[in-house]
Amino acid sequence: MTENMVVPTHVGFIMDGNGRWAKQKGKPRNFGHQKGAENVEKVVSACFSNGIKYVSLYAFSTENWGRPESEVKKIMDLLYKFLIKYTKTLIKNEIKFMVSGDKGGLSNELRELIVKTEEITKNYSKTLNIAINYGGKQEIVNAVNRIIALGETQVNEETISNHLYTSELPDIDLVIRTSGEQRLSNFFIWQCAYSEFYFTPVLWPDFDEGCLQDAISWYSKRNRRFGKL
Ligand code: IPE
Ligand code: IPE
Ligand code: MG
């Protein structure tokens, strides 16, 4: 990374385009998910070596349940295998792992693995946050319901922030969405209120460290005013 780069503290990835990547190669969609999953480790490690402290990944949305059962099963399977294999790296590189989303909707096996991995890595500071069975609107509704359950009758920005899955994380500075789509698709809508948005036509399985560097240098040139002059 060249000098004078402004490195974002928290980067969120909307890892999109696995299906189209596979289609371009005349392969089934699940092959794209396989390649997409294989790409995660490299990109996450490039993020941390570039000085990014928090990485959030969109792996499975509440809306993704609407896909064919065989595809959903494949994605869940890949998440499980990813986590089994990645635990060693998390420990070696002192990365805190966490999941944002409704774990109650996942299989017992996956949920238990997630909880165990979160527990083992909880004292590390660099953070990998994976959104699984996650929806931004659902997250805010859950937060408000939890606040109500505590007996509160009013909310403010701080109380809502404190009850989101990401209560311990700073807001997202930079969102990177692959595959050319230019939308948020319910990704951390609260935490992205003041993010910069970087859209690239590159499909997720092809997104590499060079693409990340391009995104960071683009981010470096942004003038973040936060409403001021
Ligand atoms: C992103 O790739 C992965 C998930 C949503 C789980 P897609 O599966 O959405 O790929 P496209 O958008 O169909 O190409
Ligand atoms: C967003 O991608 C969800 C993930 C990357 C996990 P989708 O492919 O599901 O989103 P849409 O359908 O293009 O909005
Ligand atoms: Mg998609």
Helix H, strand E, coil C: the string for the chain is CCCCCCCCCEEEEECCCHHHHHHHCCCCHHHHHHHHHHHHHHHHHHHHHCCCCEEEEEEEEHHHHHCCHHHHHHHHHHHHHHHHHHHHHHHHCCEEEEEECCHHHCCHHHHHHHHHHHHHHCCCCEEEEEEEEECHHHHHHHHHHHHHHCCCCCCCHHHHHHCCCCCCCCCCCEEEECCCCCCCCCCCCCCCCCCEEEECCCCHHHCCHHHHHHHHHHHHCCCCCCCCC
Mark the ranges of the chain whose per-residue pLDDT is less than 50: none
Q: Mutate which of 21, 63, 67 to test ligand 2's pocket (most atoms within 8 Å of Cβ)?
A: 63
- The confidence score (pLDDT) of residue 181 equals 98
Q: CA 28, CA 24: separation in Å to the nearest integer?
A: 10
Q: CA 176, CA 196: separation in Å to the nearest integer?
A: 9
Ligand nearest to the CA of 60: 2
Architecture in CATH of 10-220: 3-Layer(aba) Sandwich (3.40)
Q: Mutate which of 18, 39, 185, 187 to test ligand 2's pocket (most atoms within 8 Å of Cβ)?
A: 185
Q: CA 172, CA 188: separation in Å to the nearest integer?
A: 8
Ligand nearest to the CA of 75: 1
Ligand nearest to the CA of 58: 2
Q: CA 177, CA 166: separation in Å to the nearest integer?
A: 20
| Distance of CA 14 from the midpoint of ligand 3 (Å) | 9
| Distance of CA 61 from the midpoint of ligand 3 (Å) | 11
Residues enclosing ligand 2, CB less than 6 A? 14-16, 58-61, 64, 181, 183, 185
Neighbouring C-beta atoms of residue 18, cutoff 10 Å:
25
Residue 122 · residue 96 · CB < 8 Å: yes
Q: Whose CA is nearest to atom 3 of ligand 2?
A: 61
- Residue 4's contacts (CB-CB under 8 Å, 6 or more residues apart) are 220
List the domain boundaries for the chain.
10-220
- The confidence score (pLDDT) of residue 4 equals 80
Q: What angle do CA 172, 86, 179 make, to 5 degrees?
A: 50
